[in-house]
Structure 1
Amino acid sequence: MITESTLLDNSDGQLPGTSPTGGPIQSAITYEKIPTHIYADAKDASRAVAQEIADLIRQKQSEGKPCILGLATGSSPKTVYAELIRMHREERLSFHNVISFNLDEYYPMEPDSLQSYWRFMREQLFDHVDIPVGNYHVPDGTLRTDKVAEFAKQYETEIEAAGGLDFQLLGIGGNGHIGFNEPGSLINSHTRLMMLDNSTRAAASVDFGGLPKTPRKAITMGVSSILGARRVVLLAWGERKAPVIRGAVEGLVTELNPASYLQTHPNALFVIDEAAASELTRMKTPWLVDSVVWDNKMKKKAVTYLSLTLGKPVLKLTDRDYNDNGMSDLLAQYGQAYDINIDVFNQLQHTITGWPGGKPNADDTNRPERALPAHKRCLIFSPHPDDDIISMGGTFQRLRDQGHEVHVGYQTSGNIAVADDEALRFADYVVDFNTKFGIKSPEATRIFQDAAASLREKKDSEMDTAEVRYVKGLIRMGEAKSTCRFVGIPVENAHFMNMPFYETGTVAKKPLSEEDIKITMALIEEVKPHQIYAAGDLADPHGTHKVCLDAILESVRRLKHKNFMKDCWVWLYRGAWAEWDIHEIEMAVPMSPDQVMKKRLGIFKHQSQKDGVVYQGTDSREFWQRAEERNSATAGLYNRLGLAEYEAMEAFVRWRF
């Protein structure tokens, strides 16, 4: 169960999973080879790291010495830099004695390019604090290839001449790279030109508008250079980083996971959120690390884990299975395995329903949704114009077929995910159509002509113009309307919110604003829903889904005193990237083979996202394939636990406010 206190600050200001001072979760540690602090929230983790950096800067100032920082780029350190800027503005933290060396830079790369780390650091930190211009250093991506080796030696010399790194901030790649030290990098490697791993390029393609435009090389500080820092702190947020974090923290030191080299450092620390920590032993199977409180949530987690690990249905687990796998305390508290098995099996069975809006005229005691009102108003929030059909298309269709009034709030335009050639084709079509049939609309013609001209002349380093973003947004809006018609809801029930935080024209978005929240509140008040469905992807604290969810939760919090909200339940779904853990699921909606196929056809309505998606990432599957395999895997887990076999399932967790 996810509650308001799980996702928002508690009334006493303490976050769940943290100490009363907002510190990291503490637990007996027996498996971890690197000190690791786990925070419930990436923002609090970032504040703690920023505070350590600020304390170091002030200490060095008091000693009359420079503070030598090694800095990282990417999404992970953004909140750290934002907090340092706040401290500079509000707490008079000065950077006049700071000398910084960045880890890496793409090659080749112009410093004013949108993707340049020179530009990133200026926009995220340097331009907002009082660090002297000559005191920050970023590898030069404009050098001739034959000059890179000489530059790399000079870079190392400058670090040494400054006194060596006092503090090195790191992120971590999905393959374990630190800096751009890809798997295979040696522990004694120094600053050099590095060929990027394909998985790294795929992840970076989000910033470059596709894999073909993504650089193949980068200049990076080496592993030895990083390990030479007197203090190293690595940041990681999100469940996608969980497997590589476990390997780095609990596994062997190996060149296949360069972050594992930090096990050899005498003063390294991993600072991660709960999602990134989810594969660590103390999080995944905490009963193997320390004593736990065997409440119902922990019991369900342990029993489902035991069942899946042993490959035995829940009802076949024995006392010996429990005892042999560190769960004897559970038996001592609840009795024999037989009773525990039946209890957990029934809980799992009660999550399954073919009536996501509640089954009319039925006993709903053990159903996930209420029977009344029989006909509900349902509001599905979709962060992008296709998340509704990708993530809960079967449930979307089921709600409509069972007579509920369904609305969709498309929270953002999704315009940056349309390829340039797709937008150019669309713009040319409109201009040609208007010309052929003599349609005179000077303003509309100008918009599409300007968009077409801009797309023909656009360089990879340039952001989309307002006209291009408008055209791309129209494409995605049309696709969303097509999906609504396919499912069978009136087009007027599709609400295009165009939340302002998204409209930057780049992957990097603005922070959630009051205007975003007011737009969300207005739609909720207009629909007055009995059910709200929202994307519960909490993995990436800088992602669009997370910002959209924050807007919904804050809106619900502000509106919860309204009479209509007393009848409103909030259900969270996951996207095509991941699913809720089996013990978390509170409503599982099964799908037949025909329903799976219908969902696929609904996803096909989003033609701009079907082939050659701009932001494919490391997963080469199309979205319909991801969704089907995820839904099939969820059904497979239920079957392996000993429940009925279904073709596919969509899963939801209820958020209680």
Structure 2
Amino acid sequence: MLKLNLLEETRYEKVPVKIYSDDTSASIEVARRVAGLIKSKQANNETAVLGLATGASPVKVYKELVRLHKEEGLSFKNVVTFNLDEYYPIQPDAEQSYVRFMKEQLFDHVDIDISNVNIPDGTLKQEDIAAYCLAYEQKINNYGGIDLQVLGIGRTGHIGFNEPGSAPNSGTRLVTLNDLTRRDASKDFGGKENVPKKAITMGIGTIFKAKEIILLAWNGKKAPIIKKAVEGPISNEVPATFLQMSNNVEFIIDEDAAVELTRFDIPWLVKDCKWTDSLIKKAVVWLSKTLDKPILKLTEADYNNNGMAQLATDFGPVYNININVFNKLQHTITGWPGGKFNADDSQRPERALPQVKRSIVFSPHPDDDVISMGGTFIRLADQGHEVHVAYQTSGNTAVWDEDALRYVEFAMDFGQAQRQDTAYLTNLYATMNEFFRNKKPNQSDPKEIRTIKGLIRKGEAIAGARLSGLRDENIHFMDLPFYDRGKFEKVVSYEDDVTQTMDLLQQVKPHQIFAAGDFADPHGTHKVCFEIILEALTRLRKTEQWTADCWLWLYRGAWHEFEIHEIEMAVPLSPQEVERKRLAIFKHQSQKDLPVFPGDDAREFWVRAEDRTRETARLYNALGLAEYEAIEAFVKWKFED
């Protein structure tokens, strides 16, 4: 019966999927399987042929294999490897090359014979590539094929560098990279313009010949493409869907990458559910959006015809369910994000007391505060709360070189106008010009230039915070050390960042903390900044009494918003507040027009922010609630006591 239930639960899934709580435990299991293959081949005096991937997904697998070699004696002397792909053209010692990646992550730390390592050659003349690729295929065949192929997956659905449009029988070849793939690689190369436009990759047909295939995917950023690859139709628009035709494939993913699979996202369609309040809310909101009907107009037939008959039977009549969910959504809406004094707060998201709250907004970059929650920021200040803002990093990476020169030119001209000695600035300007002329892609700026760029962001942040109503003494620039340290060190400690954050929290003793809740990218600055805050608070909660009355609210950035059923505080904005928020964003002039790191969205940050908050307001209205100009959304963090 258990097997039948599992088959029913996974009936939308067209490949086997194994889900782990996190990428660490999953990677250890994959490494164990690789090691098992190597040992079994050793016992029979045979060669283990591995197909290897690069990128973030297999890093912890390689780390565990290195540990197994160093601590448990796992030998790689009988191992032959074939890597999936390599950028073209690229030198093997380039920081972004997959030759260098594999050496740093695995080969330099184990006893593999380097002559058994095969990675596509990014230095070939283009006219030699076709013959090289045929030879690569033949070499794989000479070893009897790949025993175990490890794959990652790109957001286009590519496996290896088999981009949309690839044929299922394709072999090793030169390909043109998709624009999204190049954008995703832009951070490593210091800008998309520096990312090679081509790559050499094993083909889908080559991958298919492997005796066993394991595809790895971690974090919520991969969740949409995992859903397409696992549940979608087979299509060359999503090359990973071709794996559905293999009998030797398994997807190994973490819980965050699994969230959009039907059994987790819409479980009522595949199984009987344990109906919690949060799941009921999610299901009713989903039904309302799916049918494009306000919640209070949903009928029993709507429930029965859309997989929610069990909910209607167990908790009906459905109108009572509708009313209950409608009221819960209504109670999330408040024009008083700091709480409304002398009002019943039993149905409000924030407490009425104390009347004047100490609030601190943590902003990972110097503009996340006004972009993501500028209206709420303004509302808190206007309503008389003691509002602080803490800019966690300098943001110096996201300033154009030309802007840094322009500010130094201004300082030189001002000094000359005041008949002051500008020799230092003149020399600095010449040094900067020389550095920028010879600057390599992704090369870090020297300290003086980082300081200038950081000061540009600082001045803009002060202007934005002042416009939002803050006093200068409540504007804090933390310049957390990890941000610059990470540019030069592969292993970064965050202890001093946590200590500094604890000191600021002790100074303010806030009743409210607002922090960025964008966790899709586990290596992103937002996630790191939040983990520093969380660690600081966790430590303080053990000894500091004020923390018992401190609530932590999460906001999201300009790229996406919380789902409606997740929102616990919705702050509506008037047209005038939307305009004032826009002006605060405009103060960040270095980020206007074309920022250094625009992400996937071509719109300016202020446009994204307004579109996002207007869409949230539209969704509330479509569910049958009041119509607002815009809504900023928040979720309360639940501490594990």
TM (norm. structure 1) is 0.91
Residue 474 (structure 1) aligned with residue 473 (structure 2): no
User: Structure 1 residues 479, 460: closer, same or farther in 2, change over 3 A?
Assistant: same
Gaps of 5+ in 1: 1-24
- The 2-side partners of 1:212 and 1:156 are apart by 31
Instruction: Give the C-alpha shift of residue 235 in structure 1.
Output: 2.1
Which secondary structure state, in structure 1, belongs to the residue aligned with residue 381 of structure 2? helix
Change (3 A) 1:295 1:389: same
The one-character-per-residue Cα deviations of 1:137-193 (angstroms, maximum 9, x if unpaired) are 322222111111122122222322334222222222222111111111001111111
Q: Note the 1:325-474 alignment, pairs <5 A.
A: 325-431=306-412, 433-434=414-415, 437=418, 439-440=420-421, 449-460=430-441, 462-474=443-455
Shift of 1:509: 6.7
CA shift for structure 1 position 348 = 0.4
Q: 2:626 aligns with which of 629, 644, 657?
A: 644
1:292 to 270, 273, 277: 273
CA distance in 2, matches of 1:576, 1:597: 16
- CA-to-partner distance for each residue in 1:536-574, whole Å, 9 max, x for gaps? 112122222112121122221111121010110011111
Moved more, 396-405 or 472-481: 472-481
Correspondence for 1:551 among 511, 526, 532: 532
User: How far does residue 40 in structure 1 lie from its aligned partner after superposition?
Assistant: 3.8
1:259 is aligned to 240
1:88 Cα offset (Å) = 3.9
Report 1:589-604 matches (<5 A): 589-604=571-586
User: Which one is further off, 326-335 or 57-66?
Assistant: 57-66
Percent identical: 57
Hey, what's the Cα distance between the residues in 2 that align with 1:100 and 1:613?
A: 41
Whole-angstrom CA distance in 1 between matches of 2:273 and 2:473: 51
- Distance, in Å, in 2 between the alignment partners of 1:282 and 1:466 is 50
Seen in structure 2, the aligned counterparts of structure 1 residues 37 and 31 have a Cα distance that, compared at 3 Å, is same
Report if aligned partners of 1:427, 1:451 keep a CA contact under 8 Å in 2.
no
Select which of 552, 557, 562 maps to 1:580.
562
User: 1:451·1:471 contact (CA, 8 Å) conserved in 2?
Assistant: no
Shift of 1:272: 2.4
Cα contact 1:502–1:510 (8 A) shared by 2: no
Q: Give distance in 1, aligned partners of 2:602 and 2:227.
A: 24
> Structure 1 residue 449: deviation in Å?
4.7
Quick one: structure 1 residues 148 and 432, their matched pair in 2 at CA, closer, same or farther if it must change by over 3 Å?
farther
* 1:408 Cα offset (Å): 1.8
1:66 maps to which of 47, 50, 53: 47
CA distance 1:591–1:540, change in 2 (3 Å) = same
Contact 1:448 1:471 in 2 (8 A): no
- Residue matched to 1:6: none
The 1-side partners of 2:28 and 2:476 are apart by: 37
User: What number of residue pairs does the alignment pair up?
Assistant: 633
Instruction: For 1:277 and 1:266, locate their aligned partners in 2 and report how far apart those are by CA, in whole Å.
Output: 21
- 1:145-164 aligned within 5 A: 145-164=126-145
In 1, Cα distance between equivalents of 2:416 and 2:65: 55
Task: Judge conservation of contact 2:190–2:443 (CA < 8 Å) in 1.
Answer: no
Q: How many angstroms apart in 2 are the aligned matches of 1:601 and 1:609?
A: 13
* 3-state DSSP of counterpart to 2:564: coil
- Match runs of 1:210-359 below 5 Å: 210-359=191-340
**Alignment partner of 1:44 is 2:25:** yes
* 5+ long unaligned stretches in structure 2: 1-5
Structure 1 window deviating more from structure 2 (514-523 vs 181-190): it is 514-523
Tell me how far apart the structure 1 counterparts of residues 317 and 379 of structure 2 sit (CA, whole Å).
40
Deviates more, 1:117-126 or 1:382-391: 117-126
| Greater displacement, 405-414 / 422-431 | 422-431
- Mapped to 2, the partners of 1:237 and 1:379 lie a distance apart of 32
Residue 431 of structure 1 and its aligned partner are, at CA, apart by 4.8
Q: How far 1:437 sits from its partner (Å)?
A: 4.6
* Aligned equivalents of 2:509, 2:266: Cα separation in 1: 41
Deviation at 1:93, TM superposition (A): 3.8
Max Rg structure: 2
SS in 2 for 1:350: helix
In structure 2, how many angstroms separate the alpha carbons of the residues matched to 1:179 and 1:66?
A: 23
In the alignment, which of 569, 584, 587 is matched to residue 605 of structure 1? 587
1:54–1:266: structure 2 CA closer, same or farther, 3 Å change rule? same
Over aligned residue pairs, what C-alpha RMSD do you find?
A: 2.4
Q: 2:494 aligned to 506, 513, 517, which one?
A: 513
Pair 1:528 & 2:509 matched: yes
Paired AA for residue 568 in structure 1:
C
Q: Structure 2 vs 1, CA of residues 363 and 514 (structure 1 numbering), >3 Å: closer, same or farther?
A: same
Contact 2:511 2:550 in 1 (8 A): yes
Between the aligned partners of 1:455 and 1:552, the Cα distance in structure 2 is 35
CA contact (8 A) 2:208 2:246 kept: yes
Contact 1:110 1:141 in 2 (8 A): yes
Matching residue within 164, 185, 210 for 1:204: 185
Structure 2 CA distance, aligned partners of 1:461 and 1:596? Answer: 36
| TM-aligned CA deviation for residue 445 of structure 1 | 6.7
What's the counterpart of residue 4 of structure 1? none
Q: Corresponding residue for 1:565?
A: 547
1:539 maps to amino acid:
A
- Asked whether 1:183 is paired with 2:161, we answer no
Match of 1:54 among 25, 28, 35: 35
Q: 2:363·2:389 contact (CA, 8 Å) conserved in 1?
A: yes
Could you tell me which amino acid in structure 1 is paired with residue 295 of structure 2?
A: V
User: Given that residues 209 and 615 in structure 1 are in contact (C-alpha distance below 8 angstroms), is that contact kept between their aligned partners in structure 2?
Assistant: no
Structure 2: distance between partners of 1:473 and 1:99: 48
SS in 2 for 1:656: coil
TM-score normalised over the length of structure 2 = 0.93
Give the 3 Å change call, closer, same or farther, for CA 58–332 of structure 1 in structure 2. same
